[in-house]
Chain A
Amino acid sequence: MPTLAQFLSQAFNGIALGSLLALIASGLSIILGTLGVLNFAHGAMFMLGAYTAFVVLSHWESFALALGLGALVLLIAGFATERGLIRFYYSRPKEDQILVTFGLGIMMVEAVRYVFGGLSQPVPLPSWGQGIVNLGFFIYPLYRVEVIGIVAALLLAFYLLLYRTRIGLVVRAGIEDPLMVELLGTHVRRMFMIVFMIGAMAAGIAGVIYAPLAAVIPNMGEPFLVECFVVIVIGGLGSFPGAVVGGIVVGEILSLTTLFDPAYAQAAIYAAMTLVLLVRPRGLFGTMGRA
């Protein structure tokens, strides 16, 4: 049996991983909910953020610069993707949207592989994140504690954006009924562009934060994309609270199962997803009606 310290340490890992998943998944989820597009390139966008951090942190020691540049790169990538590709797909079948974003994801991953090589490369921790911290029962890497704080602040900002601003109101209304929002005189297409950029940025920022925790490698986004799908199925489509709760749940399941038998960590999250599908097919926070 694992000791209490091991258990708490893994539970903390679960929160750190889960909050990152929540951030990525909420980006994926608002794009899905508002535009109806399942962005298969979302994992690659997360990877772009991580590589931005890799470039910045290998040359300068500014995490803030990495964060800012990562957000900027993904805002631009999101803008280019939506204007250059996705907008031609709004009237096409959902399957086509999946296919084209899947192809786009391959292009992003392969372009990065061409520029930076296919090998895994370490990213230095920022100086304020080095070392460990004593949390009473157990000692824990400092950066991971800080990650939880940073991501919590970002999720709060995301929450305020969605629930306390005009644009957030329009986005949430758009998730409920995009046609009605259009009829009420909102320029829905421009809102789509902004939502896509914000969603991409969420993935990119998560990538920046994640990079120092692990090394960067071109296909690093793939498992995150799949785990985000699990998060959304568990949490419910287009639901911000669903993405956050689902993210934490998945992160905890992954970490705590690892404590007992790492071989079953991945299997456990799919078991949880299966349970939700059987008991509550629309997801924990999902509404009926939307497929």
Chain B
Amino acid sequence: MAVQSGRLLARWIPEVAVAAALVVLPFAFNAWLGSVDLFTRILIWGIFGLGFDLLFGYAGLLSFGQAAFYGTGGFVTAYLLTSGTLSSVWLALLAGIVAAAAFSLLVGFLALRRVGIYFTMITLAFGELSYFLENSPLSPFTGGENGLPGVPAPSLQLGSFVYSFAGSWPSYQLVAGFFFIGFLFARFVVLSPVGAVLAGIRQNPERTAALGHDVGAYKLTVFAIAAIFSGCAGGLLGIFQSYMPPDAFALDTSGQLVIQTVMGGAGTLIGPTVGAAIWLILRDVLQQLPAIGSLWEFVLGAVFVLLVTFMPSGVVATIMRAASPLWQRRPQASVASVLSADPAARQGLLAPLRLPAAPGGAPAGYALEAQDISKAYGGIHAVEGVSLALPQGALHAIIGPNGAGKSTFLRLLKREESVDSGRILLHGIDITAADVTAAYQNGLSKSYQINQLFPLLTVRQNLRLGALARQRGRLRLDIFRAADGFPKVEALVEALSEELGLAECADLVVNTLAYGEKRRLELGLALASQPSVLLLDEPLAGLSPAERDDIKNLIRSLRKGRTILLVEHDMDAVFELAERITVLHEGSKLAEGTPKEISGDPRVQEAYLGGIAP
């Protein structure tokens, strides 16, 4: 119980620290500069940066067009107020935020069609587009190059008492209030299942999709969340300055946001604010220095280049890492202890799984059926007219020489690639047109020949990502729920890590694990959805004989109503495990039968041994 409440307290430490800073720091700025305005400005950039950090720091999407939403929020708010359309500043700010979010859905829909640097280029282009729209066609509304002066400040009315947020200190209070709400919200997102999925997308989007999360929808969601923060910051800028400047839309604005976020530290939430403080304070200081003067931006550019080169995780993350031994001790013994455990003890670790049997009982008919499916790459027929039917509960294996099309066949079944012709049925339902995410949601999961893990997450977080999708569906925006707040999921994760022999390293980051442990985790990810049909692509690849025995035992114990399709090069294991075997050769089915039939089949011997009878 004490541990529980300790964790609960730890959860709120950042919030408390930020609140304290928002109370103390303005007095420091006031004492230093005679005004709190610079700090207010830093916090406006900070609000802008909170959203951008969710987008870039957590989901890994580098947008160079955030100015589009900053400007949209600012100009919609300013226009509604200066034109007299709305008299309530609060409503106008809300309208600005909604407009920014709506615009972001349109831009995101287009930009997210591409990934990586293409996404960056497209967001930048749309940022420039909105700058030109503001400047030319929309100038009757936006004032063009002049911007919109005369934006009023909001006020609060409590009975007959009216409090106006005009002036230096009141506008600080307004901006600080929004910053704190924004920080709370961003923290909720980070700690929620949505945040867990975003972290997965950043590290391995393909596997995140294969684990049943709708990657495209989550990306669009975080893009819109970032735009909400941008729109809010833009609206506040106009209110704070009583003037909405057109260069809010400029590429420099997007660029400065990126620079500040990287300088301060992406993926820390508070980093962009620290970066904004560095940028704005350095600018003021450098401009005062006679030796530098007009070279200030050159010096800041150089500082930025040096920081990216030598301190890529930013100031905040670097300080936190350096200071972490003070409050955190990493468990370091567990990898060694698991490895050094004698094989007998580890056999015990991998005793038959106590996982619940596959849900749904055993409906009649085939669990998985491929009907005459084909796939060609250019002129090469990787899979040609292969049919396969797995009855409920079967343990079926596919063998064949290298290049026979085994892995392609599994990719087609898991819907990672589309078939050229033929049909695929899962429990009698046609999934030929479904995507990889839908396949997982319907109980079809796969472990990969080459580990597809989330290297910077812990074992527990990896397994959780697999278990969450089945619990939550393709997309759910449960941002006010903790990622570890699903008792069923946690119980499953606990059971899996224990029975895969990963309990001791459950809280270790995956890239510190030994290969055999990663291999077991790879299987664990496939199991985390509690699949009814399991595709295993060379689960024994690269393992030692003792580890092979472990995995073989595991595969045996995985049955209980589950249907398993195994691709493996280890013939002894295949003939030991499988009830039926299909032999693929040059993309086509060569033979199918019991292990006995297969081992006696002359065509199979021909294919494997080139015609030399054994």
Residues of A within 8 A of B (CB): 32, 38, 85, 88, 92, 94-96, 98-100, 102-104, 106-107, 110-111, 113-114, 222-223, 226, 229-230, 232-233, 237, 262-264, 266-267, 270, 273-274, 277-278, 281, 291
A selection of 10 A-B contacts at a CB cut-off of 8 Å is: A103-B259, A103-B302, A106-B297, A110-B297, A229-B122, A232-B121, A262-B136, A273-B125, A291-B114, A291-B115
- Give the complex CA separation of A104 and B304 in angstroms: 9
Residue B308 lies at the interface, judged by CB distance under 8 Å to chain A = yes
- B283-324 vs A, CB cutoff 8 Å, 1 = contact: the mask equals 000000000001101101110110011001000000000000
Contact between chains at A277 and B114 (CB < 8 Å)? yes
Residue B457 lies at the interface, judged by CB distance under 8 Å to chain A = no
- Give the complex CA separation of A152 and B255 in angstroms: 34
Residue B194 lies at the interface, judged by CB distance under 8 Å to chain A = no
Pick from B113, B133, B295, B312: contact of A96, CB under 8 Å: B312
- A interface majority secondary structure: helix
Contact between chains at B132 and A32 (CB < 8 Å)? no
Residue B605 lies at the interface, judged by CB distance under 8 Å to chain A = no
Contact between chains at B121 and A100 (CB < 8 Å)? no
Most buried by A among B60, B251, B259, B308: B308
Do A233 and B117 form a contact, CB below 8 Å, given A99-B308, A226-B251?
no
Q: A232 to nearest B CB, angstroms?
A: 7
Contact between chains at A233 and B122 (CB < 8 Å)? yes
Contact between chains at A100 and B308 (CB < 8 Å)? yes
Residue B62 lies at the interface, judged by CB distance under 8 Å to chain A = yes
Query: Inside 8 A of B116's CB, which chain A residues have their CB?
Result: 94, 291
Query: Inside 8 A of A88's CB, which chain B residues have their CB?
Result: 309
- B interface majority secondary structure: helix
- Give the complex CA separation of A2 and B124 in angstroms: 33
Query: Inside 8 A of A226's CB, which chain B residues have their CB?
Result: 124-125, 128, 251
Minimal Cβ-Cβ distance residue in B for A102: B255
Contact between chains at A237 and B118 (CB < 8 Å)? yes
Do A267 and B121 form a contact, CB below 8 Å, given A102-B258, A106-B301?
no
Contact between chains at A114 and B294 (CB < 8 Å)? yes
Pick from B137, B259, B295: contact of A110, CB under 8 Å: B295
Pick from A98, A230, A273, A281: contact of B117, CB under 8 Å: A98
Query: Inside 8 A of B89's CB, which chain A residues have their CB?
Result: none
Query: Inside 8 A of B304's CB, which chain A residues have their CB?
Result: 99, 103, 106
List 11 other contacts, CB 8 Å, given A98-B64, A291-B115. Answer: A85-B309, A88-B309, A106-B255, A107-B301, A110-B301, A113-B294, A223-B128, A233-B125, A263-B137, A264-B137, A277-B114
Residue B120 lies at the interface, judged by CB distance under 8 Å to chain A = yes
Contact between chains at B308 and A266 (CB < 8 Å)? no
Contact between chains at A103 and B110 (CB < 8 Å)? no
Contact between chains at A270 and B113 (CB < 8 Å)? no
- Give the complex CA separation of A237 and B137 in angstroms: 31
Minimal Cβ-Cβ distance residue in B for A264: B137
The 7 closest A-B pairs by CB, nearest first: A106-B301, A110-B298, A263-B136, A266-B132, A103-B305, A229-B121, A270-B129
